[in-house]
Amino acid sequence: MKRQGLLAMNSLIVLACLVGLWQAVVSFNHVPVYILPGPMVVAHALSERYPSLLNSLLITTEEAAGGLAASIVIGVAVAMLFAQWRPLRQLFYPYTILLDGADCGAGPASYLVGGSGDPFGDHRNIHHLSCADYRQHNAGVDQCGCEFD
């Protein structure tokens, strides 16, 4: 328990130092408020507009929770369909891998949007384009440890 209290205290000290550094940078460099408001300006605006910000927070929280719930329901339904119906899995699995940018560092998605995903456009890193080559290097096991056909 003492160790957790010490960790919490250290975290608060680091937070206070970072906020102080933020205020010092804004004050000493005379940074305009519209570019980087200092923590005092932010605290004042927060206290002044608290009811409106709280209402916006509640709306955003509801939308995020609804999106999470919908993604869980749809994701489980698709996973069950893929698990039960092999032809459907074989037909759509490559597209699910291509469009899954979260596990691949958004490589496939950046290829679809902006070309090769390589800032120089010389395609040297084309092997990072798809998660499909992850499967080739791991002998029939995907990121979750599931076997695939």
pLDDT tens digits, 49-58: 999 999 999 9
The distance of Cα 46 from the centroid of its chain, to the nearest Å, equals 26
Strand pairing partners for 141? 147
The H-assigned helical ranges of 29-119 are 39-48, 50-84, 86-99, 107-114
Question: What H or E segment, with its residue span, contains residue 35?
Answer: none
Extents of the domains making up the chain = 1-48, 86-140
Residue 126 pLDDT grade (very low, low, confident, very high; cuts 50, 70, 90): very low
pLDDT given for residue 102 in this prediction: 54
Decide if pLDDT at 31 tops 90. yes
Q: What is the mean pLDDT of residues 129-140?
A: 47
pTM: 0.48
Q: What is the largest CA-CA distance in the chain?
A: 65
Handedness of CA 45, 50, 59, 12 (dihedral sign): positive
pLDDT in tens, 67-124: 999 999 999 998 899 889 888 888 988 887 777 755 545 544 444 444 444 444 444 4
Across the chain, mean pLDDT equals 78
Lowest mean pLDDT among 4-13, 16-25, 53-62, 84-93: 84-93
Give the Cα separation of 108 and 97 in Å (integer): 8
